[in-house]
Structure 1
Amino acid sequence: MRLTDPQNKILKMMYDVILDPSLTTMERVLFVKTKNEIEFGRTFETEVTALLKELNHIPNSKRTTHFRQELSKVFPFSAF
């Protein structure tokens, strides 16, 4: 798995989100699935885009909302 620096930054943020105890079970499942797919070698942008779409269908915790805000600083949504 070869990721760019911004992608590595996002992956690290995902680890932090997954470890946050305030995360809902469904949010954690979605983040872990995405992290695993990226680590398996799937296309980074495709997996993160899928995560964002799935997160649109469930209530988001403050931690997930913060992740989305930080993600938009690293990668503008138009990049996905």
Structure 2
Amino acid sequence: MKKALEFIFWIALVAFLALGSLIVLGQLLGVVALSPGLVEGAASTLNWSAFSSATACALAAFALQYFPKEKSTDGPGAEQS
């Protein structure tokens, strides 16, 4: 279950960062081209997908905090040879 949530977290993280970048770049292109329709269209077209993937990422991160942390052998209390 933890591996599945980590997979969902990383996929959703990449998705919402990419979609957010596309929104900003589309709006920037609209400003440079003096096209208000492009500025508004970039946001209205991609907002739902970006917000949905951000929500999935947040929910996966929230659920992941309830799984026990893996013990590290490299930490301060680890045996040294």
TM-score by length of 1: 0.30
Name which one, 1 or 2, has greater alpha-carbon Rg: 2
